[in-house]
Each structure stands twice: as C-alpha cells, then as structure tokens.
Amino acid sequence: MRLPSHSKKLNFSVLSAVKYVSFTFFFGTLIFCGFYTGSFMMSYVTSSLNTIHPTSIPGIKDQDKCQQKGKSWRNDKCWDYEHNPSF
C-alpha cells in the first residue's frame, strides 16, 4: 500500500514563501534606502540654506552710504557679510 505524496504541494508552498520573503526584503530595503537618501538630501539642503555668504551690494556705490547701512566697504564695493541665500 502506497501513501499519497504531498511533496508537490509542500514544494509549492515553500517556493511561495521564499518568493514572498524575497519580495518583502527587496522592497523593504528599497524603501529604507529611499528614506535614508531623502533624509540625507534634506539635511544637506537645509544646512546649506542656513550658512551665511558674503556678497557685494550692487545698488550702493558710495562708501558713506555703505557704512551708514552697517556694511563694509572693500575693493570699491559695498559688502554684506550677513547675506543668507534663502533671502
């Protein structure tokens, strides 16, 4: 007397489980890396916006006007050392 074989059914369920675990791992890794990259990019952008860059003010051509506004006169230009690029 021969018992019915369940190996075909067992292989199918193991194969399905391996597929589900693989897809879950792949997409989970993809989502994690996407969030990590996005947060890194956002921190880089926000930190660069908060830095101060010196710039010359093109509208002021006189040293007295420049110094009255609290700016610095150097190389025949009025310089602002508190310029924020997000302005």
Please indicate, yes or no, whether the overall pTM of this predicted structure exceeds 0.75. no
pLDDT in tens, the chain (87 residues): 555 555 555 556 788 888 899 999 999 999 999 999 999 888 877 776 667 778 888 888 889 999 998 889 998 899 988 766 665
CA distances from 68 to 23, 62, 72, 76, 78 (A): 66, 10, 10, 16, 11
Domain boundaries, the chain: 7-50, 52-87
**E strands, 1-87, where?**
55-56, 72-74, 77-80
Task: Give the other-Cβ count within 10 Å of 79's Cβ.
Answer: 16
